[in-house]
């Protein structure tokens, strides 16, 4: 199995339709190998591709990797982690793209290294004043009586040279599980902050608190029109607008994945071990119809809601092998099911 840190051979495939830094490397080869403009799987990492508390999930991830390779899919990680953290994960296959830091950085694999999409950074910078955001959050934390706390790398009073703040993300802990309190926190912060997005997700590693990511909002344009959003959903939309693949899917498990799972950009997969907050959000949907685990939502959007027995990569592979969810290629993916 190839590992995340392995080098890759230079691309020799002409890709003049692709903008830099996407025009060379493994990504360009995979897109050029298909006659439909290419295919991409956008996936969260922890608890979506692999579960650290479930040794069997590694074998499922290997089956999924082989299936994606056989069908020349571009693999894109969409994660809250930063690139150095992912590079220390030898169990992960090398992705062609990394949409890191909750979708605020986009990295493209090139010859054993990853290049940053600087144009995306410029887009985010035009909608973001980090100094003003941090100042407003400091005032909110000071008056929150222990309810809010900056996460370690974003603490203004204790900078960490080994883990500098990320330019387009500020993260806090919110110490409550009460939905009424969370709603009040959101309303107060929206009134106090410059225009930005607030993304809450339950902390499965430390029950009793939520992670809050404060992110820039921006607008991208593509074949489907103009989209304004933030975080993972914005990054996915941006990549789709740049690459225009013929086929794309997204997969996730938690609150900060809901934007990209439910915004309708491409068919989506909710894994069977999804968090309760993600499950509740899906249970509140009103599908036009349902066929087994596949919900057909307004606008033709398909959502595969995996049963609890389909965890992490096993659920992703099962969805891609479903003729209802992925009619064009289900037969080929079924050959890789356990």
Q: Give the model's confidence band at 112: pLDDT under 50 very low, under 70 low, under 90 confident, else very high.
A: confident
Tell me which of 199, 215, 231 is where a domain ends: 215
**Spatial contact of 275 and 177, defined as CB atoms under 8 Å apart:** no
Mean pLDDT, range 55-69, rounded to an integer: 95
Handedness of CA 80, 29, 319, 54 (dihedral sign): negative
Q: Which of 246, 265, 229, 216 is nearest to 39 (CA)?
A: 246
Q: Tell me the average pLDDT across 188-193.
A: 97
> Residue 214 contacts by C-beta under 8 Å, 6 or more apart in sequence?
133, 137, 169, 170, 171, 172, 189, 193, 196, 197, 198, 199
Same domain, 239 and 328: yes
Long-range contacts of 3-7, Cβ-Cβ distance < 8 Å, separation of 24 or more: 3/90, 3/92, 3/93, 3/94, 4/86, 4/87, 4/89, 4/90, 4/92, 4/93, 4/94, 4/95, 5/87, 5/90, 5/94, 6/94, 6/112, 7/111, 7/112
Among residues 197, 215, 233, which one ends one of the domains? 215
Lowest mean pLDDT among 5-14, 135-144, 188-197, 271-280: 5-14
Which domain does 301 fall in, by range? 26-123+222-334
195 and 252 assigned to the same domain = no
pLDDT in tens, 193-233: 999 999 999 998 888 999 999 999 999 987 778 999 999 99
Angstrom distance (rounded) from CA 229 to CA 211: 19
Stretch 272-282: mean pLDDT, rounded? 95
In the prediction, which pLDDT does 190 show? 97
260 shares its domain with 273: yes
226 lies in the same domain as 112? yes
> Across residues 151-161, what is the average pLDDT?
91
Do 31 and 117 lie in one domain? The reply is yes
305 backbone φψ class: left, alpha, beta (φ>0; ψ -120 to 50): beta
Least reliable range by pLDDT among 40-49, 157-166, 188-197, 240-249: 157-166
Sequence-ordered list of residues with C-beta below 8 angstroms from that of 239, at least 6 positions apart, any chain: 40, 42, 76, 97, 99, 106
Task: Give the largest Cα separation in the chain, rounded.
Answer: 58
| Statement to judge: residues 204 and 235 lie in one domain | no
Any idea what the CATH number is for the domain that residue 192 is in?
3.90.1070
Q: How many CB atoms lie within 10 A of CB 272?
A: 18
Q: How many percent of the chain have pLDDT more than 70?
A: 95
pLDDT of residue 106: 97
Closest by alpha carbon to 313, among 151, 153, 127, 77? 77
pLDDT of residue 175: 97
Domain shared by 228 and 302, yes or no: yes
Same domain, 51 and 111: yes
- pLDDT of 4: 55
Rounded to whole angstroms, how far apart are CA atoms 184 and 253? 25
How much is the pLDDT for 13? 33
Task: Identify whether residues 171 and 307 lie together within a single domain.
Answer: no
- For residues 210 and 147, state if they share a domain: yes
pLDDT interval class at 73 (50, 70, 90) = very high
Q: Are 109 and 25 in contact (CB under 8 A)?
A: yes
Q: Are the beta carbons of 95 and 114 closer than 8 angstroms?
A: no
* Pair 172, 52 in one domain: no
Give the tokens for residue 337.
């099911």
pLDDT of residue 8: 36
- Where residue 108 sits, what CATH number does that domain have? 3.40.50.1000
Task: Name the domain count of the chain.
Answer: 2
Query: Domain boundary at 185, 215, 245, which?
Result: 215
Instruction: Lowest mean pLDDT of 99-108, 151-160, 212-221, 325-334, name the range.
Output: 151-160
- To the nearest whole number, what is the mean pLDDT of the chain? 92
Measured in whole angstroms, how far is the alpha carbon of residue 227 from the centre of its chain? Answer: 17
Whether 9 is in a domain gets the answer no
pLDDT of the residue at 24: 82
């Amino acid at each position: 199995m190839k590992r995340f840190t392995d080098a890759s051979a230079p691309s020799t495939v002409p890709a003049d339709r692709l903008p830099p830094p996407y025009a060379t490397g493994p990504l360009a080869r995979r897109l050029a190998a298909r006659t439909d403009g290419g295919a991409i799987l956008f996936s969260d990492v922890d608890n979506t591709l692999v579960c650290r508390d479930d040794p069997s999930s590694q074998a499922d991830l290997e089956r999924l990797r082989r299936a994606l390779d056989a069908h020349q899919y571009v693999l894109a990680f969409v994660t809250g982690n930063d690139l150095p953290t992912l590079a220390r994960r030898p169990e992960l296959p090398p992705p062609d793209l990394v949409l890191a830091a909750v979708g605020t950085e986009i990295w493209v694999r090139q010859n054993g290294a990853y290049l940053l999409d600087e144009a995306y950074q410029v887009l985010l910078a035009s909608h973001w004043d980090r100094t003003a955001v941090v100042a407003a959050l400091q005032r909110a934390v000071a008056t929150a009586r222990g309810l809010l706390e900056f996460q370690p790398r974003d603490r203004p009073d204790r900078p960490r040279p080994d883990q500098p703040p990320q330019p387009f993300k500020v993260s806090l802990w919110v110490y409550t599980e009460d939905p009424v309190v969370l709603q009040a926190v959101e309303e107060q912060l929206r009134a106090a902050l410059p225009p930005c997005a607030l993304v809450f997700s339950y902390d499965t590693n430390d029950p009793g608190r939520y992670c809050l990511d404060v992110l820039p909002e921006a607008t991208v344009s593509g074949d489907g029109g103009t989209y304004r959003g933030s975080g993972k959903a914005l990054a996915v939309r941006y990549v789709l607008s740049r690459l225009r693949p013929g086929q794309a899917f997204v997969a996730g498990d938690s609150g900060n994945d809901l934007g990209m799972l439910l915004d309708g950009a491409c068919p989506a997969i909710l894994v069977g071990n999804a968090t309760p907050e993600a499950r509740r959000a899906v249970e509140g949907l009103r599908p036009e119809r349902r066929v087994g685990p596949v919900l057909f939502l307004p606008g033709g959007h398909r959502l595969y809601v995996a049963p609890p027995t389909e965890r992490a990569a096993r659920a992703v592979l099962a969805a891609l092998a479903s003729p209802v969810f992925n009619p064009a290629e289900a037969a080929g993916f079924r050959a890789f099911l356990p």
